[in-house]
Amino acid sequence: MFAGKKILITGGTGSLGRALTKKLLKEDVDTIRIYSRDELKQSQMQSEIQDDRLRFFIGDVRDKDRLSRAVEEVDIVIHTAALKQIATAEYNPFEAVKTNVYGSQNLIDCCLDNNVDIALAIGTDKAVSPLNTYGASKMLMERLFVSANYYKGKRKTKFLCVRYGNVLGSRGSLLPVMLSQIKNNEEITITDPSMTRFNISMNEALELILRTLKYGKGGEVFVPKLKAYRVKEMKEAIMELTNANNNEKRIPVRPGEKFHETLISKEELRNTFESDKDYIIFEKQNQNYDYNSIKEVKSTILTENYSSDLVPELTKNEIKAILKKENLI
C-alpha cells in the first residue's frame, strides 16, 4: 500500500518518527517528508538516515500556512507531533493546547484542503479519563480526528487514531531514567512499586500503525492487545541485567500521574470491537459500513476497563527476555 506514496510525518525527528521512517524506507515509497521544529534533530537525523527519498521541513504544527505547504501532494500523513512531557504540560497548559489541540486542527484542515488519502494520529493512554493537561489535550486531539470523518463532506480523507502507552525505552520513560541513574551510580527513584504500566515495544508500535493504515476505514481508534508490568518487576529486571546494586529512593507521585493506566474506558465498550491483535473503538454514526459484518472482527468480550492492573502481568524473567530481544540493555 506504500508503493509510490508520498508520506508526511509530523514530529518526525522523535524516537517514533525515526523508527517509523526507517521502517517505511524499506517499502517502495516515493518520498517521506519529516516535519518538525528542531533544526538540530533534523541535522542529526539526516546524518543517521541517508536516503534520497527523505525530505526535511522546518516548521511547527501551530503554523498552518507552513503546514499546508508540507502537506501538498501528500498521500498519507502520520501525526506524531505533540508536547508530551506531563510536567511540562501541567506548568505550560496554554502551550500544550496550542500544539496538541490547535496544531491537530490545523493538520486536519490541511489534509482536507489537500485531499490526503489517510491521516493517522498517535494517541495515548493518558487520554482515557484524563487526569492531567497532557491527557486532556490528547483526548481532544483524538476527538478532532475521529469527528473529522463526519464533516469532511465528499473528500476522500480517512482520519484514524491509534492509542497506546509509553513505548518501552522511549525518551523520558521508566527504562532510560533507571539506566541513567544506574550509570551515574545514583539512587533509583521509585514512586510506588505496585504501579502498573502497559508494555509495548517500538516494533509493536510500528506494526500497530501499519495495521491501522492498512485496515482502518475512517473514524476508528485502534488499541493493541497488551500485557502490563509492575514497576517493581521492571526495576528488578533492569538491575539484574546490569548487575547493579544501587539504593532505592521513594519519591512522591508526580502531578497528574496515575497508579494504573487505562486504554479503553468502560463507557467505550459499547462501541468497541476486537480482532486477534487489536481492539477497535468505532462510533457508528454517519458511517455506511458495519463492523459486525467484517470477517475476523467481533464485538468485544471486555466487560471492564481495559486497564494495566486488569490484564496479564509480565514476570521479571519475561521482562528480561523482552529487554534483551529489543536490545534495550
> Do 279 and 299 contact (CB within 8 A), yes or no?
no
- Looking at residue 174, its pLDDT comes to 87
- When the pLDDT of each residue in the chain is averaged and rounded to a whole number, the result is 93
- Residue 320 pLDDT greater than 70, yes or no: yes
- Looking at residue 129, its pLDDT comes to 93
Going along the chain from its start, the domains and CATH numbers come out as 6-166+200-226+262-307 (3.40.50.720)
In whole angstroms, what is the distance from residue 173 CA to residue 66 CA? Answer: 31
In whole angstroms, what is the distance from residue 300 CA to residue 282 CA? Answer: 11
165-201: burial string, b at 16+ Cβ within 10 Å, e else: bbbbbbeeebbeebbebbeeeeebebeeeebbbbbbb
pLDDT tens-digit map of 221-268: 999 999 999 999 999 999 999 999 999 999 988 777 889 999 999 999
In whole angstroms, what is the distance from residue 102 CA to residue 61 CA? Answer: 8
**First-to-last CA distance in the chain?**
34
3-state helix, strand, coil in the chain (%, to 5): 40, 20, 40
For 24, 101, 165, the CA distances from 211, given in Å and listed in that order, are 13, 25, 17
Place of cell 496479564: 312
Give 111's pLDDT tier (boundaries 50, 70, 90): very high
In whole angstroms, what is the distance from residue 198 CA to residue 228 CA? Answer: 4
Could you please report the per-residue DSSP string of 46-75?
Answer: HHHS--TTEEEEE--TT-HHHHHHHHTT-S
In whole angstroms, what is the distance from residue 250 CA to residue 253 CA? Answer: 9
For 71, 76, 111, 171, 175, the CA distances from 145, given in Å and listed in that order, are 16, 14, 11, 25, 31
Between helix 15-24 and helix 39-48 the angle, nearest 10°, is 30
- The three cell numbers of residue 51 are 536516503
The yes-or-no answer on residue 277 being catalytic is: no
In whole angstroms, what is the distance from residue 107 CA to residue 61 CA? Answer: 7
Instruction: Write phi, then psi, for 84 (nearest 5 degrees).
Output: -110, -20
SS3 assignment, position 2: coil
> Do 182 and 238 contact (CB within 8 A), yes or no?
yes
pLDDT tens-digit map of 130-189: 999 999 999 999 999 999 998 888 899 999 999 999 899 887 788 999 999 999 999 999
In whole angstroms, what is the distance from residue 320 CA to residue 322 CA? Answer: 5
Which of 5, 126, 158, 235 is catalytic? The answer is 126
Nearest to 109 by CA among 137, 151, 140: 151
> Pairing mode, if any, of strands 272-274 and 298-299?
antiparallel
Scanning 49-154, the segments in alpha helix (DSSP H) are 64-71, 86-91, 93-97, 103-113, 133-151
Give 91's pLDDT tier (boundaries 50, 70, 90): very high
In whole angstroms, what is the distance from residue 301 CA to residue 158 CA? Answer: 27
- Looking at residue 151, its pLDDT comes to 86
- Residue 8 pLDDT greater than 80, yes or no: yes
Least confident interval from 111-115, 127-131, 256-260: 256-260
- Looking at residue 180, its pLDDT comes to 93
- Looking at residue 71, its pLDDT comes to 98
